[in-house]
Structure formats: structure tokens, C-alpha cells
Amino acid sequence: MINERRIREFIKRVILFIILSIGAIIVLFPFFWMLYIALKSPGKEFVLDFSFVKPFYANFLRVWKNESFPFGRFFLNSLIVATSGATLTALFCSMGGYVFAKKNFYLKEFLFWIMLSTLMVPGMMYMVPQFAIVTKLGWINTYKGMVIPHVASVFGLFLLRQHIETIPDSLISSAKIDGASEWQIFRTIIVPLSLPVITTVFLLTFLFQWTNFLWQLVVNTPESMKLTLPVGLALFRGQYQTQWCLLMAASSFSIIPIAILFLIAQRFFIEGLTAGAIKG
Amino acid sequence: MKIKNRVLRENINSYLFLLPFLVIFLIFLAYPVIYSFILSLHRVTPYTDLYNVFSDMKFVGLKNYLKLLNDSKFWWSLIVTFYYAILTIPGMIILGLLLAIFLNNKLPGVSFFRSAYFLPNVLDILVVSLIWTLIYSPHFGVFVRFLEWIGIKGFSEKGILGNPRTALPGIAFAMILKGSGFGMILFLSAIQNIPHSVYEAADIDGANAWQKLIYVTIPLVKPIILFLVIMGTISSLNAFTEIYAMTQGGPYEVYFLGEIQGATKVSGFYLFENWAQMRYGYAAAISYVLLIITLIISLINARIMRRKF
């Protein structure tokens, strides 16, 4: 009787394992396919065999140093935009989160309420007015035009406020008695104690900026030298419709770093992305 | 006097810390909500200075909104958006829930599966769309070849995305595979929080696996289902990149109110098209109507949430 139940349990697990494996293959298939096509020689992308271009990195090299579409440059641009955006966002959100968590100031409730209500506005509707503002500021085709409008992340500020509230007030007041300035308190108490949440905000913003397509398409004209990877990919595809092996090689420049980053820092990504859901 | 001084100092200090965030917030997130409405009452003048378009617009009152009412393309884009939401939301919820239930067993490699299913969520949506365009493409696309292999030959000429009936479902399928890991993680943490005694009680009552799912699991994860519905609706209203990369709104083979319409032209893409054609006032009007629709949906959802929980 017990034996039979064990066998049934075992069979159930084997079946589940097989289903999950097939599912994982289907979900990850597009990315294997991308690499597979990126390794084929031009013109032979659709011959389903295992003959690959030699040397295997030929396609990657060709797009990295391409003259009209220098993906090496696009990669660098993406890196600059994502890193500076993430750094500024993490810094400004921690500073703002600190005062919202620990201080009383004039108009605090009102500002909090306004920030909360902008969370309801869908991102798409910001395209036209933000484009108008950036045009008026003369920020078209600049890094700041790509980065600054998205640096005030209300979500990041709330995440940090929520965490900083849990830091005991006694730590802050004893530092004050020791004569620490506000900035010293922020730097030596608040930042070290919120480092995991700051990392989360940093990584999520990095990801957001790295994969942001619409805004970077809007603030750059096609001949801009500041194009990021997704925009470069879209324009490249417009010109070389059939060069799939090159397009897929260029695509891996966008996919592979993020996949590695995700595997290293998975915990932060998952906690950050699901934080909004659990609290809301 | 001393107290007053301290309050003042506290205020100054707080605002100094808040300043960088606040300035950017006010310019790029708060002001645009008002500015967008102002823009929607204007129209770009012909022959305007290209570098000075926005200082040079003409006031037209509510004309843009009146035009919107009679714009069959706009109404069609709302229908397509709604259809896109219907195609993606249930798929993501069902797949996410199923994966979570499967992963809630003691199996080898659970954490590997969890990462594998979640990974596509963080990858560049433009690239994922490009890869799927390749997979769906006519003649050579691996999906079309697979269909031929199992005996379905109707897609060889135009592929999945060239056919007005299958284009949007094809996009939705790709996005479901990309996005369902998100729901999976939420469902998984909720299911793991359900006490074992609840399932044991169901076992004693003789419930089978299906009954346990319907009467125990689903009622307990209802808040997450509602959350995913709201998120899915908003992301359908925001959908743009996948359409841009995969179909550019086409194929143009659907008739609606006497005009040819793009089978996959969601409202986000229609808004973008108007922006690209420099109809900034009209585009601002479209975004304002979309904002109001979003707010109404959020309010309805908030109401449902409050009633049920």
C-alpha cells in the first residue's frame, strides 16, 4: 500500500519534471535560435544544419566594427546611458527616500500624494510632452536627453522610503549627538544599511534603461552618434532586411550581458520586480 | 525662537536632500500631465521652423478631440488594444499559475526552472520581437516549417505575421512566453504561503487535485490574479515595441467603418504614428484620452479589489 503510493508519487514527479523541461526548452528556444543563426554564414541562415561560419565569431566582429552601424559604439552608448541613469536614480531615490522616511517638512503629504498619482499614468502618454520639453531644452541627440527624464523614479523612491523607515531612529539621533551633519548621517548610516535595496533600484533602472526602446528612438535622430543598442538594431534591420545572421549577432550584444547580470544578481531582480505587486 | 529655528533647519535640510529628485520629477513627470493637455488644444502650423515647433503652435480649442471622435482609425486601435489584452492576459495568468503549481513540488532542479522561466522577462523586448519575427517568417521561418511538417500549409506564403488573422495572436503568443515567468514568481510565493493544513483538510474531505485547485488555491491567489489583470491592461495600453518590431501595425487587410485598418495597430502604435508624422497636438489628444481610459480602468479595478477583500 505504502509502496504503491510511493511509486505513484515518483511517477508524478517524473512526469512533472519532463513537462517542466519541455516548457523550459520552449521558453528559452528563441535565445538558442538567436545564437544558432548568429553563427551561420551569410545567406545560409535558413539551411538547417550544423555548418557554421568560420571563425565562429566572424559575424560578431563584422557588426561590432560595422561602418554605418557601429554596434561597438552602440554598446558603449547603451552602457553609458544605463550606468549613469542607474547611478543617478539610485542616488536621488535614496536621498528622497531618506527625507520621506525620517523627516517632517512643509508639503510632505501633498508631494507624496502627487508622486503616488503619477504612478497611475501610463508611460506611453509621456511620449509627446516629454519630447516637447526635451526639444525645447535642446537635448535631442544627447545622453542627458535619454537619461534625465527617467531619473525621478517614484517606484524607487517608495521602495527606499519603505526600507529606510525600518532603520531605528536611535541610530540617527546618537550620530546627531556626536555632531554628525545630515550628509554624514546619510552617507555613514542610511546608505550602508540600505545597500541591498539601493542595489535593487540600481539594477532595475539599469535594466529599464538598457531595454528602453521607445524613448531612445524618440530623442535620437537616425544619424545621431548616441544611438543605443535597441535603436541601432531597429535601424539596421530597416536597411538590411535579409542579413539575419548579422542582425542576430548584433542582438546578442544586447541579450548576453543582461542574461549574465540576471544570473549573478537574480535575487535583487526578482525581489525588486515583485515588490510592487506584493505591497500594492 | 530656538524651536522655530530647528524647524526651519529641518525644512531646509529636507528640501536640499529632495531637491534633485523633486526638480526632475516636477519637470518631467508632473508638469507633462498638464502640458500634454495644453498641447492637445494646439496644432502644429505648416511651414514652421523645425527646431522651434513647440513654441510656434496654433490654438485650436477642442478641435483635436472632436476630430478624434470621428476618427475610425482611433476607434479601431482601441478595439485592437482590447483584443490584444484579451489574448495576452488570460494566457499569462493560466501559464503563470500552472508553472507555479508545478514548481511547488519537490523536484530536482526547481531553482534552475525558476530562473529559466523568469529570464525572458528581463531581456530586451525589441530583440525578443526580432527573434520571433525570424521564427514566424514565411518560407524559411522555423515555426512555419514546423507547421508544414505537421501538415498545415496555409502559412508558407505570408508567414504568421503576414496573415491578418494570426498576426496579433502570434505576437501575443511570443509575449506570453516572455512574460509569464513574472506571474509564476508571484503565484509561487503566494502558494508557498498557504498553510499545509489547508490542503490536508481538503485531502481528508477527499478532494482531488482539480478540486483543490478550484476550491483552495485559486480563491487564495485571487489578489494576484486581479493585480495581473490590471498590469496586463495597462501594458496593453502601453504596447508599442513588439508591434513596431514585428508588424509595424500591419497587415492592412481589415475593413472597419469603411476604411482599411492595420490588423495589429494598437493604440500605442497609432499614437506613435501621429507623433512621427509631427501631428503633436493630435497625438497629445490621443494620449489624453488614453490616460482617462487608464484612470477609469484603475478606478473600476480598485473598486472590485475593495469589495472582494
Task: Kindly report, residue by residue over B47-60, the tens digit of the pLDDT.
Answer: 666 666 777 777 77
Q: Is residue B35 part of a domain?
A: yes
pLDDT over 70 at B291, yes or no:
yes
State pLDDT tens for residues A109-152: 899 888 888 887 888 889 999 998 998 888 888 899 999 999 99
Same domain for B245 and B196:
yes
How much is the pLDDT for A276? Answer: 62
Is the pLDDT at B221 greater than 90? The verdict is no
Q: Residue A232 and residue A173: Cα distance in Å, rounded?
A: 52
What residues of A are in contact with residue B291 (Cβ under 8 Å)? 121-122, 125
Instruction: Assess whether B236 and B143 both reside in one domain.
Output: yes
For the purposes of burial, counting CB atoms within 10 Å of the CB of A266, is it exposed (0-12), middle (13-18) or buried (19 or more)?
middle
Q: What is the mean pLDDT of residues A204-209?
A: 90
Q: How does residue B309 score in pLDDT terms, banded at 50, 70 and 90?
A: very low
B117 interface with A at CB cutoff 8 Å: yes
The CATH number of the domain holding residue B124 is 1.10.3720.10
Tell me the one-letter amino acid at B190: A
Shared-domain flag, residues B32 and B163 = no
Tell me the C-alpha distance between A189 and A172, whole Å. 7
Burial, A222: exposed, middle or buried (Cβ in 10 Å; 0-12, 13-18, 19+)? exposed
Same domain, B103 and B126: yes
Alpha carbon of A211: minimum distance to chain B alpha carbons (Å) = 5
Which positions in chain B touch A126 (Cβ < 8 Å)? 28-29, 32, 36
pLDDT at B279: 86
Q: Do B280 and A211 touch (CB under 8 A)?
A: no
The answer to whether position B298 is within a domain reads no
User: What local confidence, expressed as pLDDT, does residue B285 receive?
Assistant: 93
CB A102 within 8 A of CB A185: no
d(CA A276, CA B13) in angstroms, rounded, equals 29
Identify the residue with better confidence: B246 or B215.
Answer: B246
Look up residue B62 and give its amino acid. Answer: L
Kindly state whether residues B76 and B51 are assigned to the same domain: no
Q: Distance (Å, rounded) from C-alpha A123 to C-alpha B268? A: 10
Whether residue B149 is found in the same domain as residue B234? yes
The residue that leads in pLDDT, A29 or B299, is A29
B176 and B77 in a common domain: yes
CA A263, chain centre distance (Å): 14
Position A280 scores a pLDDT of 41
Q: Which three cell numbers stand for residue A150?
A: 527617467
Looking at residues B279-293, what average pLDDT do you find?
A: 90
**B289 occurs within a structural domain:** no
User: What percent of chain B has pLDDT above 90?
Assistant: 29
User: HEC string of A65-105?
Assistant: CCCCCCHHHHHHHHHHHHHHHHHHHHHHHHHHHHHHHHCCC
Task: Tell me how far apart the alpha carbons of residues A95 and A91 are, in angstroms, rounded to a whole number.
Answer: 6
pLDDT tens for B222-273 read 888 888 888 888 889 989 999 999 988 878 777 777 788 888 999 999 999 9
Residues B77, B9 within the same domain: no
Tell me the CA distances in angstroms from B185 to A229, A258, B94, one per residue in order.
29, 19, 13
User: B46 lies in which domain range?
Assistant: 2-59
Rounded to an integer, the average pLDDT of B56-81 is 86
Q: Tell me if A132 and B132 make a contact (CB, 8 A cut-off).
A: no
Residues B50 and B162 in one domain: no
pLDDT tens digit sequence for B173-205: 999 999 988 999 889 888 888 888 888 888 888
The verdict on B302 touching A (C-beta cutoff 8 Å) is: no
Return the percentage of chain A with pLDDT > 70, whole number. Answer: 98
Output the pLDDT for position B268: 92
Pair B181, B247 in one domain: yes
User: B226 and B189 in one domain?
Assistant: yes
Whether residues B110 and B232 share a domain: the answer is: yes
